[in-house]
Structure 1
Amino acid sequence: MAATESLPATVGRRLYVQLGITLIAFAAAGGMLAAHRTTLDSGTDRLAAADREWLLLACAAAAATWVCAAVAQQGAVIERLPRGRLVAAQFAAGAANHLLPAGAGATVVNLRFLKRCGLSTGRAATALAVKAAVGGLVRCALGVALLVASPGAVHLSARVPHVLVLLPVAAAGAVLAAVISGRLRRLVVRAFADVRDVHRCRARAGALWGGSVAFALLHAGVVVAVVHAIGLGLPVSRVVMAYLVASGAAALLPTPGGLGSLDAALALALTAAGAPGAAAVSAVLGYRLLTGWLPMAPGLLVLALLARRSAL
């Protein structure tokens, strides 16, 4: 009974901690924007004059990320999920992810969707954990492969601390520390069992890993297209590496949709790759506009529609 009574208190404390971190991140982001208002204005003007064809390509890449997320989610479970509702759920999850910290919005939407599809709460949670773990492994593997194939992908300016490259390593260390903790040990064992079951079917394994790889590359492709749209002549390998480093660093701060943490990390990574400050801000604004702000309203409408039709 005591353990049951202490559970709500533990969850409440965790939510308060996440909310506190989110507010601190928002305050820091607001302070940075105020301190660099001139650079922000210049970056906005540059984005307004960007090449429309490259922006359309970036829009197409952003839209394709939801399809890839659906493919990866299907690959994480053995049961066949309804395709149309699965894609719609990923679109709605992206909007919900910008409302709650640490990816909680997307997790809640996908958890409810999988339960509506007949999975138990434990198996649905495990499927989401498998998808998230594969996504993290894919980003690390892409970064290593890019370094091997193109050593010049990491180009650090003297204006940016070299420790930026170590942030994904720190993120991986934090994840490993969480995994070996006793509280998550049973979840990890269950996740490995589900991974083993999924990989017995080549089609499911291909969907899980292929969808995760395509998801990461398409997000990086959005940044690459926006960088070209504003006329910034950075090599593609450096831009992709900048995104991989920034997304890994942003995972350390549980802000809604990476708002503030991903923005700052991506701007810093692009500056480290050789972009001027105003151009880096333009690229971040374009990426955030296409992947977060513009899809927000229609994503919430789809979320409401799915809930009304009892799909969530």
Structure 2
Amino acid sequence: MVRTASTVPAAPANPTAAPACDSASASAQHPVPHPARLVALLPGRVRALLPARSAANGRRLRLALTLLPLVLLGAWAAFDWRTVHGGAVRLASADPRWLLAGVLFTGLCSVASAFVRQGAVPERLPPGQLLATQFAAGAAGHALPGNIGAHAVVLRFLRRQGIPLARATSSLALYSAVKPVAKTLVIVAFVVAFPGTLRLTELLPKGETLALVGAITGVSLAAVVTLITTVRPLRRPLIGGLRTALTDTRIVHSRPGRALALWGGAAAFPLCQGAVVASVGSSLGLPVSWPQMLFAYLVASTAAGAVPAPGGLGPMDAALVFTLVAFGAPAALATTTVIGYRVLTVWLPLLPGTLVLSALVRAKVL
């Protein structure tokens, strides 16, 4: 024990090199359990159903992952085909120049998301593969609730880049934590910049709604705390992951470039999404100003974020229509605007996104 203690290196002379050492020591002291150990925690009957690890099973799994996006695309199209067809028919009379602007803003959403992902890790990621991964993750994110599909794609990409599982997971946690904070700051900036344009009194929820939201939040927090304190196998990896996340957060914010990419991209993403709504609304002649349409998206996406729907579909659409109507838009025109927004942000990039996802799996980038 004495010999081990004597071999601990002294603090580096360069202060900028200390965070990296702290990150490595944090990962070593609080490792995330190996997948085999996690499998060992499963009941015996569940472990018996898992396939044995072999080269043949690995090839089958990779083929399944390659075909899965295309299968999800077909299922999604069969489920929501009427909405897509109706929106396309209504958008036939829209101004194509504004629709082209909406397509441009849709592409910028992937760029903004790529900046956030890069800002959440200290290592430099290959820009081309990162952008392609974010484009593919956008398609995967619409298949599962809570953006789980997108996080799974990005986690696989980070692991392929040699980032340890603990630090890759902490980057996802940092990404998920920064985005709502940045969106809240953007909302505050809109309220300060356009005090007379935004009809805040008509958008504020009633007392019953606030009470329901508060009750749901309280129950969710109590459930998480109870789960962490009672399930011992989860306690150690969660605490270790939290310490790793705090260490990496300090490293990222000690580098101005990473911090700017993290917070700048997080603030730009909802603005690009709102610009898609505003572009579609302008193409249809919606009698609502651009600041109001941008703010309508910010408020609607914030209100619908607590509902675990795939890609925010359903609750997000209803909240956005309600907000646009509150700003003076006709209900039918507001509904068409939301359908056009969904066509540009979901259906238009879904097919190329799934193809890119399959190509990244075949190229072993994922």
> Shorter-chain TM-score: which interval?
0.7 to 0.9
**C-alpha contact (below 8 Å) 1:147/1:154 kept by paired residues:** yes
CA positional deviation for 1:65: 0.9
Contact 1:99 1:256 in 2 (8 A): yes
Q: Which residue of 2 aligns with 1:126?
A: 170
Alignment partner, residue 270 of structure 1: 324
One-letter amino acid of the counterpart of residue 359, structure 2: L
Q: Does 1:72 pair with 2:116?
A: yes
Kindly indicate whether residue 131 of structure 2 is the aligned counterpart of residue 87 of structure 1. Answer: yes
Alpha carbons of structure 1 residues 257 and 134: separation in structure 2 relative to 1, 3 Å = same
1:253 equivalenced with 2:296 (yes/no): no
Cα separation, 2, equivalents of 1:271 and 1:215: 24
Cα RMSD, aligned residues only: 3.3
- For residue 103 of structure 2, what is the amino acid of its counterpart? C
Matched to 2:264, the amino acid is G
Cα 1:174–1:126 change in 2 (3 A) is farther
SS of 1:258's equivalent in the other structure is coil
| Partner SS for 2:311 | helix
2:10 is matched with none
1:227 aligns with 2:314: no
- Cα drift, residue 180 of structure 1: 8.0
AA aligned to 2:293 is V
Q: 1:190 aligns with which of 244, 248, 260?
A: 244
Confirm whether residue 147 of structure 1 aligns to residue 184 of structure 2: no
- Report if the CA contact (8 A) 2:169-2:241 is conserved: no
Distance verdict in 2 for CA 1:149–1:188, change over 3 Å: farther
Contact 1:44/1:282 (CA < 8 Å) preserved in 2?
no
Q: 1:48 aligns with which of 68, 92, 95?
A: 92
Deviation at residue 186 of structure 1 after TM alignment: 5.2
Kindly indicate whether the alpha-carbon contact (under 8 Å) linking 1:96 and 1:105 is maintained by their aligned counterparts in 2: yes
What are the Cα deviations for residues 224-278 of structure 1, in whole angstroms up to 9, with x where unaligned? 1111111012122221111011111221111111111211111111112221111
Q: Distance in 1 between matches of 2:115 and 2:222?
A: 27
TM-score, normalised via structure 1 length: 0.80
Equivalent residues in 2 for 1:1-312, closer than 5 Å: 4-5=41-42, 46-155=90-199, 162-163=205-206, 170=213, 174=217, 177=221, 181=225, 183=228, 187-312=241-366
- Which residue in 2 is equivalent to 1:15? none
1:58–1:225 contact (8 Å) kept in structure 2 = yes
Deviations 1:188-209 (A, max 9, x none): 4432222111011111111111
Deviation at 1:60, TM superposition (A): 0.4
Describe the SS at the equivalent of 2:349. helix
SS in 2 for 1:255: coil
Native 8 Å contact 1:234 1:275 kept in 2: yes
State whether residues 102 and 257 of structure 1, in contact with CA within 8 Å, keep that contact through their aligned partners in structure 2.
yes
The whole-number CA distance in structure 2 between the counterparts of 1:285 and 1:119 is: 39
Q: Equivalents in 1 of 2:159, 2:153: separation in Å? A: 10
Retained in 2: the 8 A contact 1:157–1:273? Answer: no
Separation in structure 1 between the aligned mates of residue 280 and residue 166 of structure 2, nearest angstrom: 40
Letter in 2 for 1:284: V
Alpha-carbon distance between aligned partners in 2 of 1:185 and 1:147, rounded to the nearest angstrom: 38
8 Å Cα contact 2:109/2:269 also seen in 1: yes
Query: What is the identity, as a one-letter code, of the residue corresponding to 2:136?
Result: A
TM-score by length of 2: 0.69
Compute the displacement of 1:61 (Å): 0.6
* Deviation by residue 1:113-135 (Cα, 9 ceiling, x = unmatched): 11111111111111011111111
The aligned amino acid for 1:141 is L
Shifted more, 188-197 versus 102-111: the winner is 188-197
Task: Sort the Cα spacing of 1:106 and 1:153 in 2 relative to 1 into closer, same or farther, 3 A.
Answer: farther
Q: Give 1:4 deviation, angstroms.
A: 2.5
For structure 2, the 5+ residue unaligned runs are 1-36, 47-75, 229-237
The 1:107/1:274 distance shift into structure 2, 3 A limit, reads same
Q: Deviations over 1:160-197 (max 9, x none)?
A: 87449x87x959x9399379837366544432222111
Deviations 1:269-288 (A, max 9, x none): 11122211111111101111
